[in-house]
Amino acid sequence: MLLHHLPYTHYTHSVSYPPMDLNLLFFGTEQCTASHAWGPGVRDSYILHYIHSGSGVLRIQDKEYSLTAGQGFLIFPDTIMNYEADADDPWVYTWIGFKGINAKSLMQRAHLTLDHPVYDSQGRAWFQHFYDQLLAAYNEPGEDVYAQGMLYQLIYELIACAPVSTTPIRVTPSRERYLQQAIEYIENSYSQKISVLDIAAAVGLDRTYLSGLFKAELGVSLQQFMIEYRMKRALELLHHSQLSISDISRSVGYTDPFLFSKMFKKVIGQSPKQTRERL
Same domain, 7 and 124: yes
Confidence at residue 165, expressed as pLDDT on a 0 to 100 scale: 55
CA 48 to chain centre: 11
Which neighbouring-strand residues pair with 72? Answer: 50, 119
Confidence at residue 124, expressed as pLDDT on a 0 to 100 scale: 64
Confidence at residue 117, expressed as pLDDT on a 0 to 100 scale: 94
**Overall number of domains in the chain:** 2
Same domain, 179 and 223: yes
Angle, helix 143-160 to helix 126-137, in steps of 10 degrees: 180
Nearest to 112 by CA among 73, 71, 150: 73
Same domain, 198 and 84: no
Confidence at residue 122, expressed as pLDDT on a 0 to 100 scale: 66
Q: Please report, as a single letter, which amino acid is at residue 189.
A: S
Domain edge (last residue) among 160, 184, 200: 160
The reply to whether 11 falls in a domain is yes
Confidence at residue 2, expressed as pLDDT on a 0 to 100 scale: 31
The reply to whether 166 falls in a domain is no
Domain limits for position 151: 2-160
Same domain, 87 and 197: no
Q: Please report, as a single letter, which amino acid is at residue 61.
A: Q
SS3 string, the chain, reads CEECCCCCEEEEEECCCCCCCCEEEEEEEEECCCCCEEEEECECCEEEEEEEECEEEEEECCEEEEEECCEEEEECECCCEEEEECCCCECEEEEEEEECCCHHHHHHHCCCECCECEEECCCCCHHHHHHHHHHHHCCCCCHHHHHHHHHHHHHHHHHHCCCCCCCCCCCCCHHHHHHHHHHHHHHHHCCCCCCHHHHHHHHCCCHHHHHHHHHHHHCCCHHHHHHHHHHHHHHHHHHHCCCCHHHHHHHCCCCCHHHHHHHHHHHHCCCHHHHHHCC
Confidence at residue 99, expressed as pLDDT on a 0 to 100 scale: 83
Backbone angles phi, psi at 84, to 5 degrees: -145, 135
The reply to whether 18 falls in a domain is yes
The reply to whether 265 falls in a domain is yes
Question: Judging by beta carbons within 10 Å of its beta carbon (0-12, 13-18, 19+), is residue 249 exposed, middle or buried?
Answer: buried
Which tens digit of pLDDT belongs to each residue from 82-92? Answer: 999 999 999 99
pLDDT per position in the chain (279 positions), as tens? Answer: 232 222 334 444 444 444 456 778 888 888 999 999 988 888 888 999 999 999 999 999 889 999 999 899 999 988 889 999 999 999 999 888 888 777 888 898 888 999 899 998 866 677 777 878 877 776 666 677 777 788 888 888 888 877 765 444 444 446 778 888 898 889 888 888 899 999 998 888 889 999 999 998 888 899 999 999 999 999 989 888 888 999 999 999 999 999 999 999 999 999 999 988 887
Domain edge (last residue) among 104, 134, 160: 160
CA 122 to chain centre: 25
The reply to whether 167 falls in a domain is no
Same domain, 129 and 240: no
Confidence at residue 123, expressed as pLDDT on a 0 to 100 scale: 63
236-243 contact pairs (CB < 8 A, 24+): 238/272, 238/275, 238/276, 238/279, 239/279
Confidence at residue 87, expressed as pLDDT on a 0 to 100 scale: 94
The reply to whether 137 falls in a domain is yes
